[in-house]
Structure formats: structure tokens, C-alpha cells
């Protein structure tokens, strides 16, 4: 299938150079006529573009000009042929969050990688965690908490010693950040159909922020996190470089430590 891309690039010099060379090989088109959106940048840039352009309901193909580029593909200078039918498709299901701050303002957002609840001051966070109607932790004293999708389980979640989730696991990871009480609580995995509620137990003394991938909302009172079954995004990868393979490589590396 012919590659008919609409291209968006980051503002870095590396992204600019890659876009210049890519445009020598591929003819671009308007977003209304394209069959794929090519994103040149890093993982953070890709996440922001997916959210911004989701309304067009087009698949995405990333070219890495950042650091790790877990969501991206490597740009190969000598490559001349790009075809959709030669690529591997991965579907991502984002989380939906509804956050309420102490002024009762409500913020709605989606998260493709993870939702992070973080302490906002020198004071540790004091958090209650519920799954559906069941209280999981009455009081978590920590630097915060991460709720991660399988796609995001190898990112911030892994750095906080959370589990790597297979992309087809239908699971979410709940991972504490530097837990003080309960000191040995390592978190847990739950079904992606779970409704997770996080409450700030001391809003004034221990303020919290919630970060949805790279969008922050401060002074939160409560965050409700759930899977969004009506929303999904398609990412394309070069063969042998799929997100599934990258995910499993990280899982093997972790098991060998």
C-alpha cells in the first residue's frame, strides 16, 4: 500500500535534518488526504502529537530524533521505500482520567503511557487508593504513585521498580514511588477494566499534582482513572522493531538482572 504521509517534526536541529532527508524520498500530502501521520521527534513529542491529532483518526509512524525512542522507529539514511503493508501495526488503548482539585475544578485528560500522582512540596504524599469500591491502601505515605498502561510499563513505571506488562495482558500496573509506609509495599497489577480512585488525605499540608503523560494538573483532591474502551490509537513500526518486540526485550533484560 502506498505511503501517503502528513509530516510533523519537532523543533530540534536533529529533527529538522531528518525531515529534510526524509522529504527527499517521500512526497507528502495534506492531513485530510494522508493515510498516515509521520512524527519526527522523541517519545514525549510523539505522545503530545497523538493527543493533539487524535481527532483525525489516522495512524502514526514515528521517526526518532530524541533519546531512547521507545515509540519511534530509527531513521535509515539509505532507505528509499516506505509502504504501509510492509509495517507492523500496534494498537494502544489510553487511560481516561478525571481529576478534581481543592477548588472543585475538574480536569479531564487521557494518558497513553501513565498517570503519575506526585508530591508537590517537601512533604511526602498521603494517599488513599481504591480499586472499584474496594480500598487497596488506606494510607500510602510516599513520593507519589504511578498507574501505567502496558505501553508505558517500560518507562517511568520501570524506573520506579514496577512490573513490565505484556502489551496483550489487559492489565494496569499500580506502582508506588519511594514508599515510606507501608514500607515494603511494591504495588500490584490489576485488570484494565478496573476503576482506580486516588484521594489526597491531606490537601492543605501535603499538596499533590497529577501528570497525564506530560500534562500536569495541580493541587488535586481526587483522581479517577479508568480504561477508555471507545478510544484507541494505531502506531506503525518497521518489521523486527515493533513495540511488542521492544517490550519483550526489556522484559528479558529485567529477568536477567
Active-site pick, 10, 43, 143, 213: 43
How far is CA 37 from each of CA 32, 49, 78, 186, 196, rounded to the nearest angstrom? Answer: 10, 10, 21, 39, 33
Q: Is the dihedral of CA 25, 27, 46, 218 positive or negative?
A: positive
Cβ pair 120, 202 in contact under 8 A: no
43 is catalytic: yes
Instruction: Using alpha carbons, select from 14, 59, 66, 62 the residue that is nearest to residue 38.
Output: 62
Please list, residue by residue across 209-234, b when 16 or more beta carbons sit within 10 angstroms of its beta carbon and e when fewer do. bbbbbeeebebbbbbbbbbeeeeebe
How many residues are recorded in the chain?
Answer: 257
For the annotated catalytic residues, the residue numbers are 43
Amino acid at each position: 500500500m502506498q505511503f501517503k504521509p502528513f509530516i510533523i517534526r519537532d523543533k530540534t536541529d536533529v529533527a529538522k535534518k531528518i525531515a529534510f532527508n526524509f522529504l527527499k524520498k517521500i512526497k507528502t500530502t495534506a492531513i485530510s488526504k494522508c493515510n498516515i501521520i509521520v512524527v519526527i521527534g522523541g517519545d514525549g513529542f510523539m505522545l503530545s502529537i497523538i493527543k493533539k491529532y487524535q481527532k483525525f483518526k489516522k495512524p502514526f509512524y514515528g521517526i526518532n530524533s530524541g533519546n531512547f525512542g521507545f515509540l519511534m522507529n530509527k531513521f535509515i539514511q539509505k532507505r528509499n521505500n516506505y509502504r504501509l503493508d510492509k509495517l507492523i501495526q500496534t494498537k494502544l488503548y489510553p487511560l481516561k482520567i478525571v481529576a478534581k482539585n481543592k477548588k472543585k475544578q475538574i480536569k479531564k485528560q487521557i494518558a497513553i503511557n501513565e498517570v503519575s500522582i506526585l508530591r508537590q512540596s517537601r512533604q511526602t504524599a498521603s494517599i488513599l487508593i481504591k480499586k472499584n469500591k474496594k480500598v487497596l491502601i488506606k494510607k500510602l505515605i510516599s513520593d507519589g504513585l504511578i498507574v501505567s498502561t502496558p505501553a508505558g510499563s517500560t518507562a517511568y513505571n520501570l524506573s520506579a521498580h514496577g512490573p513490565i506488562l505484556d502489551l496483550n495482558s489487559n492489565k494496569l500496573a499500580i506502582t508506588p514511588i519511594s514508599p515510606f509506609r507501608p514500607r515494603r509495599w511494591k504495588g500490584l497489577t490489576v485488570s484494565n477494566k478496573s476503576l482506580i480512585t486516588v484521594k489526597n488525605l491531606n490537601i492543605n499540608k501535603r499538596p499533590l499534582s497529577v501528570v497525564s503523560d506530560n500534562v500536569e494538573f495541580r493541587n488535586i483532591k481526587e483522581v479517577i482513572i479508568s480504561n477508555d474502551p471507545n478510544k484507541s490509537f494505531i502506531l506503525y513500526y518497521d518489521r523486527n522493531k515493533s513495540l511488542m518486540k521492544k517490550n519483550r526485550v526489556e522484559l528479558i533484560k529485567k529477568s536477567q538482572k
